[in-house]
Structure 1
């Protein structure tokens, strides 16, 4: 079977969202409201912020508004890798924040533990599996770095090629390092919907199809203007307008244009793509092993990530990261046939024993990327407004930590988190167009050349490393 046949019947709806379990849409906001805390954005960051706000103060009046529907964007269509890392990997943290990297690593582990505890405490049905992740070498030059990471006491276990073949069977594998403790797998959309259930049970008012169009300082409060979509999420015609007056506002819009203009250049949207297979038969599962159900990612700059679902489908994503001129975010970029065909070819190269398997879903979506590749924070209007963005693909876990930070910032008190350099220092902004487009294109080409040259970083990547904008997957 060729890749065209394998992809022929694939739905363009993200697999996680293509289910009858999707909650009934909530109505938009159609009249003025007031709140102690307004949360803007109904993805992970906004939902975790609302949940923790009610846990800190059950009497606090919290309102959450979402421009479309809860979890429809990155939070509902990602790979479901819930990692402890707050810095896009320990090495990236050491590059950008060497003096506090150890503490950030510990805070990340505590954050993942807190996510697991919250899922258990509230009985969230989100297919949480703390399986860890295998970083696999597919080229000989990648093996040494993985071997150097072997530290069983810390939960990092190295497997050579023969040992790895007993875990997951692929002719492309040379070795692997298993991070056994710091990554969990989740059903990303179910996590959103369960967070929605919990926050509503705790008394949070949630409105969908309600887009915030402006944020204005009003002495002791913040006034937010919304444009509601009375026709329902995804419709094109705007409905009524309403105003929300809030004592504090948490902005969790991530990849979408910031409501704070001064940080509008600090992120760029980069499109990522994934495929989902039909469920594997018991015989097909036996042919690949993978009994540990770990998440898997390879070591190249242009990398793949893949994992098993609860019903033994395989999600296979990554490789291309596509930027569109002008920081454009549009539904029309969610489909990219050439990337899907490439991913399908790579899938069958990774698991040739699964030849004949079909893909049931193919989709994409934008990731909010910043120049240091992990989240940043800022405040406005006398710390009555806080914002977090820039997760660069690792927001499933780090979003809860971002909610914690924003609530600390909005409290007006000095805490350990508000004093972190990670929180106080913004990453370097990307340049305006056309420099941003040109720079990203040149960097992408340099990363491809690096992969083709045994990982050696050329002149452009070395310059970017030196100024704090270097990428290491």
Structure 2
């Protein structure tokens, strides 16, 4: 191992292989499993953000509705408790992705996304959820000259469409005045469209809010099978069954109970590191007084933020798709990625040399070919689903919950009229084609980063088919 790699490895020597957020002492006790048959008006499957928002909003819309939520492990243990805590207004995985796919609807989508983020902030306040919610915004950072050009072009396009409210271009000096790194050449700051929060505390707070409104929650209760039973749907669990007039599926990365949806989702593993708390001198060395979320503008990008106790979360870059798409606990850890991330961290912040990492973890993200959620119904309209959030689910899952409840009600709403809601993405091909295609795409994206953003024939073909990131 080279001397530099040895230095990076030493920074990881005390890193615990568990998600930092889930170790919080405020973690609630697990609730008992379902051990009998039950009937309910609405069954919600999944105890992440998607399911929790669905159960909560269902009770807000109709307090008399009987709602049951089941979770296969513990509420918030999967992606909802492992992510970076970026709660974005965007429903489309960023403005450029949305403009490429739904240009005619982008005004409405941006407005709905802004209202959705406002509603999350209001719910956090109304239910007293102590999740360290901070409306700091996020800066897309340029670390290469072509990325700076792309950020300027995106800002101009947003201005031309009247969608640049709250956006501010930063040159090199302005960017480094916000957060100081020798790698930063400039940035585009979305001042109002992103909040930072403690992701596990949000999930736990939503769990308590649901309980307070009368939702019955069963943890360690895996949904095994979904079928129709007359006017009801039936879900079988290890120790019982639940009969429900309606079912909302918030299972996301895990195999859908609606089997025809499985080809539309692949799991992509993402990894993150958390540092020890920074000293006063270390904080002064990097600035970051306004605590924005940051993300660099490469195809293989990093996301990073500062926590309430002055740690830095540093994640992203590697996106690992396992052959066959199986989600397993063994893949939650990848030391070779941790070492790579540590080296990239100290390249970004050389003034923090000697800082150590306390936690290193990973988890699977539900990814679809258009990189933003899709929606629909099954079993004659008794079952609704929202899935495929591709890493932007902290905020967008609340919107997805509203869509599922709209679809179950049978009403036409401003949400159900969106092309994004009415149309599905393309499914992924079967193996080994999926594995090969994803591998070629990842290689091509890395090459584009090395070649000044120039996209090769493969990426341009994927773009034309609606299967590629539009950088």
Could you state the TM-score of these two structures normalised by the residue count of structure 1?
0.96
Give the CA deviation at 1:456.
Answer: 0.8
In the TM superposition, what are the counterparts of 1:32-71 in structure 2 within 5 Å? 32-71=37-76
Moved over 6 A (4+): none
SS at structure 1 position matched to 2:380: coil
Counterpart for residue 302 of structure 1: 300
Counterpart for residue 231 of structure 2: 220
C-alpha distance in structure 2 between counterparts of 1:145 and 1:269, whole Å: 29
> Is the aligned partner of 1:190 residue 2:201?
yes
Counterpart for residue 315 of structure 1: 313
Counterpart for residue 211 of structure 1: 222
> Is the aligned partner of 1:446 residue 2:444?
yes
SS at structure 2 position matched to 1:210: coil
Counterpart for residue 182 of structure 2: 171
> Is the aligned partner of 1:137 residue 2:142?
yes
* CA RMSD, Structure 1 to Structure 2 (Å): 1.1
Counterpart for residue 368 of structure 2: 370
Aligned residues between the structures: 460
Write 1 or 2 for the structure with the bigger share of helix: 2
Among candidates 2, 27, 50, match of residue 7 of structure 2: 2
Give the CA deviation at 1:9.
Answer: 0.7
**For the Cα contact (< 8 Å) 2:100–2:470, is it kept in 1?**
no
Counterpart for residue 236 of structure 1: none
> Is the aligned partner of 1:117 residue 2:122?
yes
Deviation per CA, 1:250-279: give whole Å up to 9, x if none: 000000001111111001000000000000
**For the Cα contact (< 8 Å) 2:463–2:470, is it kept in 1?**
no
Of residues 85-94 and 75-84 in structure 1, the stretch that sits farther from structure 2 once superposed is 85-94
Counterpart for residue 30 of structure 2: 25
In the TM superposition, what are the counterparts of 1:260-275 in structure 2 within 5 Å? 260-275=258-273
Give the CA deviation at 1:154.
Answer: 0.6
In the TM superposition, what are the counterparts of 1:220-259 in structure 2 within 5 Å? 220-227=231-238, 241-259=239-257
Counterpart for residue 416 of structure 1: 414
Among candidates 159, 164, 171, match of residue 170 of structure 2: 159
**For the Cα contact (< 8 Å) 2:42–2:245, is it kept in 1?**
yes
Counterpart for residue 289 of structure 1: 287
C-alpha distance in structure 2 between counterparts of 1:377 and 1:147, whole Å: 33
C-alpha distance in structure 2 between counterparts of 1:355 and 1:472, whole Å: 35
C-alpha distance in structure 1 between counterparts of 2:415 and 2:272, whole Å: 34
Could you state the TM-score of these two structures normalised by the residue count of structure 2?
0.96
C-alpha distance in structure 2 between counterparts of 1:374 and 1:440, whole Å: 17
C-alpha distance in structure 2 between counterparts of 1:464 and 1:35, whole Å: 44
C-alpha distance in structure 1 between counterparts of 2:177 and 2:99, whole Å: 33
**For the Cα contact (< 8 Å) 1:273–1:364, is it kept in 2?**
yes
C-alpha distance in structure 2 between counterparts of 1:254 and 1:472, whole Å: 23
Counterpart for residue 382 of structure 2: 384
Deviation per CA, 1:337-381: give whole Å up to 9, x if none: 111001000101111110000000000000000000000012011
Give the CA deviation at 1:51.
Answer: 0.5
C-alpha distance in structure 1 between counterparts of 2:266 and 2:234, whole Å: 27
C-alpha distance in structure 1 between counterparts of 2:286 and 2:92, whole Å: 32
Counterpart for residue 340 of structure 1: 338
C-alpha distance in structure 1 between counterparts of 2:372 and 2:148, whole Å: 26
Counterpart for residue 232 of structure 1: none
Of residues 209-218 and 189-198 in structure 1, the stretch that sits farther from structure 2 once superposed is 209-218
C-alpha distance in structure 1 between counterparts of 2:182 and 2:101, whole Å: 36
Counterpart for residue 106 of structure 2: 101
Give the CA deviation at 1:153.
Answer: 6.5
Deviation per CA, 1:234-293: give whole Å up to 9, x if none: xxxxxxx20101010000000000111111100100000000000001111000000010
C-alpha distance in structure 2 between counterparts of 1:216 and 1:142, whole Å: 49
SS at structure 1 position matched to 2:26: coil
In structure 2, the CA distance between the partners of 1:5 and 1:16, relative to structure 1 (3 Å rule), is: same
C-alpha distance in structure 1 between counterparts of 2:386 and 2:145, whole Å: 39
Give the CA deviation at 1:219.
Answer: 2.1
Deviation per CA, 1:413-433: give whole Å up to 9, x if none: 222212221111110000011
In structure 2, the CA distance between the partners of 1:78 and 1:153, relative to structure 1 (3 Å rule), is: closer
C-alpha distance in structure 2 between counterparts of 1:101 and 1:162, whole Å: 32
**For the Cα contact (< 8 Å) 2:375–2:421, is it kept in 1?**
yes
C-alpha distance in structure 2 between counterparts of 1:413 and 1:170, whole Å: 51
Give the CA deviation at 1:157.
Answer: 0.7
C-alpha distance in structure 2 between counterparts of 1:357 and 1:373, whole Å: 34
Counterpart for residue 3 of structure 2: none
SS at structure 2 position matched to 1:211: coil
C-alpha distance in structure 2 between counterparts of 1:146 and 1:443, whole Å: 23
Among candidates 6, 13, 20, match of residue 18 of structure 2: 13
**For the Cα contact (< 8 Å) 1:301–1:472, is it kept in 2?**
no
